[in-house]
Chain A
């Protein structure tokens, strides 16, 4: 569960990135966070990962009150969150298998469990044939599947996907969102940040629109099921 109570973030430069934002995302929800560049989406992600602290208000993620969380407890928090970045952020010196297994090594999981679990998530994202490939040998869509498998392998309560379709072909974007929806169907909370409004309209669901550091829209819409191929619609 993610809860923001009257949260404000002001950077040292004086910029107000978030302004008295309150938000609650329940366990098992799938929410799109939309907004133009500079609206405060990235600040919100940094806040949820405790990369930055709120200037005011309370942030609760998966039961952790981030205002009170000590620095040494941050790894513990992050192990309950899976993160998918627009630029994939895979470790180029590791194979697909190693990139995914690394997350389990961090938590000191037994070798046998790592083998079984990694093979399972690789099959979930359909990359069995690429397990021993290096990220540079993969297409954008495949890299993002690896990133999703990495986010998923630790069975996190929450997956934050930061513009996961931003660097891949439009037709593959829909596959990626379908994959995330499939993961959500198994009970994982998904928070997907995007500015591809057409795609959001296609899938529907809970839409949170941020503008100028404030939530200007938060509601559930019906999906249109129309797939727009050939570009993104940014407003």
Chain B
């Protein structure tokens, strides 16, 4: 096919959007709703996952050390902990620091601390943060192999709850997203099929005058692509506005933010490019493929 011929088909496809504007508008609306359903579900999933991740980061493993440990041994243990792959943060927590903290938190029992005099009953410790809390048991087992470990305190119950929450969320949201994609595809396919059905005679005429399948399909393909492209842009704008509104509302809830952490909410600015590409490319691709496939039934004349 010559470039001029291809240009004609592309122009015809774009032109058809306006000529068949009622059906194009129906396809646009269906594509828009479908993109929003899937896109917003993915964004909700990403944020909930990020919030759970933020809460996970707040967990802490405390490694208490033997009381008679030397300074060199202390440093060796610190270095060994730093080297562990699942350990992301290691902070030394001296027994003096712990004692001061205890005294402050139990200020009403001042008499008790006075009776102890200069004796500090606490021990030195390292406070750790782990990267993957699913691997916390293995990490603790690794720490236990080190010398001069007095005891280890880890939030096993908390970790188990978080892990269960995450797996439930992954299954539920995953199923929801897959269901929405399937429902959207069925609706989109039926809408494009209706649009093509309305023009089945046009397709038959094209076949009778000797048009090839490709010649007939390209304008439908372009038409679907243009409709999908605009649906993608509209979905992006709506998502942007809705997302910012929700984030602004959440940011005004101080109590909530203290639990989930400000950094756990993904800002739209940081995901703008992938969201834009997904919407526009997804819309254009689904629109184009849906239209092209729908012509198949009427093309066999």
Contacts and interface: CB of A to CB of B under 8 A. Distances in A.
Interface in A97-131: 102-103, 105-108, 110-111
Given A91-B202, A93-B20, A108-B2, A76 B301 contact: no
Interface in A161-207: none
Given A91-B202, A106-B215, 11 more contacts: A51-B301, A72-B212, A77-B210, A79-B209, A89-B204, A93-B19, A103-B210, A108-B1, A108-B5, A154-B209, A154-B210
A150 B209 contact: yes
Nearest to B205: A89
Nearest to B209: A103
16 contacts: A51-B301, A77-B210, A83-B209, A89-B204, A89-B208, A90-B205, A91-B205, A93-B20, A93-B202, A102-B209, A105-B8, A106-B206, A106-B212, A106-B215, A107-B210, A108-B4
A105 B202 contact: no
A49 interface: yes
B215 A78 contact: no
A76 B20 CA distance: 29
A83 B19 CA distance: 26
Interface of B: 1-2, 4-5, 8, 16, 19-20, 201-202, 204-212, 215, 301
Nearest to B301: A51
A223 interface: no
B210 A106 contact: yes
Contacts of B209: 78-79, 83, 102-103, 106, 150, 154
The listed residue with most A CB atoms (<10 A of its CB), out of B201, B206, B208, is B208
The 9 closest A-B pairs by CB, nearest first: A79-B210, A78-B210, A75-B210, A108-B5, A106-B211, A103-B209, A93-B19, A75-B212, A91-B202
Contacts of B210: 75-79, 103, 106-107, 154
A154 B208 CA distance: 13
A120 to B, nearest CB: 18
Nearest to A153: B209
Nearest to B211: A106
Nearest to A150: B209
The listed residue with most B CB atoms (<10 A of its CB), out of A49, A90, A106, A154, is A106
B5 A75 contact: no
A150 B209 CA distance: 9
A93 B203 CA distance: 12
Interface string A31-64: 0000000000000000001010000000000000
A49 B206 contact: no
A108 B7 CA distance: 11
Contacts of A111: 4
B6 to A, nearest CB: 9
Nearest to B5: A108
Contacts of B301: 51
A49 B1 contact: no
A102 to B, nearest CB: 7
Contacts of B202: 91, 93
